[in-house]
Amino acid sequence: MIGPDALGGMGTGVLAQFACLAAALSYAFAGVFGRRFRSMGVTPLATAAGQVSASSLILLPIMLLVDRPWELAMPHLATWGAVLGVGILSSALAYVLYFRILAVAGATNLLLVTFLVPVSAILLGALALGEALQSRHFIGMALIGGGLAFIDGRMPRLVVQRWRELRTGSDLTRQRRPVTRMLPRRRSCRGGGTGRSAPDSR
């Protein structure tokens, strides 16, 4: 979903680019690390509440030092609604589902959901914002779907099963094919070359 235009600014914000890579790496480690909560007997709701609360407490002093909200204008109701939507739906509820799927399906299947983020973003942009979809968007979504099918193992199993069915069908056809045997000709005792035995004159 990222085109070649995104590579035009490589090197201009190295720290920001490394921060994005570190965030993706920590997200991958979080799925593997979070598996232990199930063995510890911690429910997904408690795990999600602890993570969101701890991250809010960590970011609170940084937010006060960097943004200085007392110097900003009072936000509008639409801004408060967006903040509540991001906090409740996109963070709190999402992490409850995150840790529940982690406990049931495992880290590998859980992290496959991240491939659907650009697909959902493009579809929501087209439905809610009226953005125009181009052919490259559909190609990218098809590649993501194919990649998920290969990683999940369904498509390779389907290909192998189909190949075995075709191979079994060809073997059965070969077994049912009639076999014609060439019977050897009997040579004449008199060398006449007619292929028939000479009658007995006795």
Q: Establish if 27 belongs to a structural domain.
A: yes
Q: Establish if 6 belongs to a structural domain.
A: no
Question: What gap in Å lies between CA 100 and CA 79, rounded to an integer?
Answer: 30
- The boundaries of the domain holding residue 65 are 19-70+78-106
Quick one: residue 72, left, alpha or beta (phi over 0 = left, psi -120 to 50 = alpha)? beta
Q: What pTM was estimated for this model as a whole?
A: 0.56
Burial of 110 (0-12, 13-18, 19+ CB in 10 A): buried
Q: Establish if 39 belongs to a structural domain.
A: yes
Q: Where are the beta strands (DSSP E) in the chain?
A: none
Q: How many domains does the chain have?
A: 1
Which residue in the block uniquely carries the two structure tokens 């007619």? 194
pLDDT by 10-residue block (mean), the chain, 202 residues: 59 76 83 79 83 88 89 88 87 84 80 82 88 88 84 74 77 56 53 49 46
Question: What gap in Å lies between CA 57 and CA 123, rounded to an integer?
Answer: 34
